[in-house]
Amino acid sequence: MSENHTPMIGDKFPEVELQTTHGKMVLPKAFESKWFILFSHPADFTPVCTTEFVAFQKLYDQFKALNTELIGLSIDQVYSHIKWVEWIKDNLDVEIQFPIIADHGAFAKTLGLIHPAKGFSTVRAVYFVDPKGIIRSILFYPQELGRNFDEFLRMIKAFQVSDANGVAMPANWPNNELIGDKVIVPPASDFKAAMYKKSRYQNYDWWFCYKEVGQD
Annotated catalytic residue within 38, 49, 73, 183: 49
Superfamily, domain 166-216? Antioxidant, Horf6; Chain A, domain2 (3.30.1020.10)
**pLDDT tens readout for residues 57-70:** 999 999 999 999 99
Looking at residue 121, its pLDDT comes to: 76
> When comparing pLDDT for 210 and 115, which is higher?
210
Amino acid identity for residue 52 in this structure: E
Same fold, 16-148 and 166-216: no
Residues 21, 83: Cα–Cα separation, whole Å: 10
Do the Cβ atoms of 157 and 59 come closer than 8 Å?
Answer: no
Provide the whole-model pTM.
0.92
pLDDT in tens, 182-198: 999 999 999 999 999 99
Catalytic status, residue 209: no
**Could you report the per-residue pLDDT of 4-42, keeping only the tens digit for each?**
578 999 999 999 999 999 999 999 999 999 999 999 999
Check whether 74 has a pLDDT greater than 80. yes
What are the sequence ranges of the domains in the chain? Answer: 16-148, 166-216
Whether the Cβ atoms of residue 118 and residue 84 lie closer than 8 Å to each other: no
* CATH superfamily, region 16-148: Glutaredoxin (3.40.30.10)
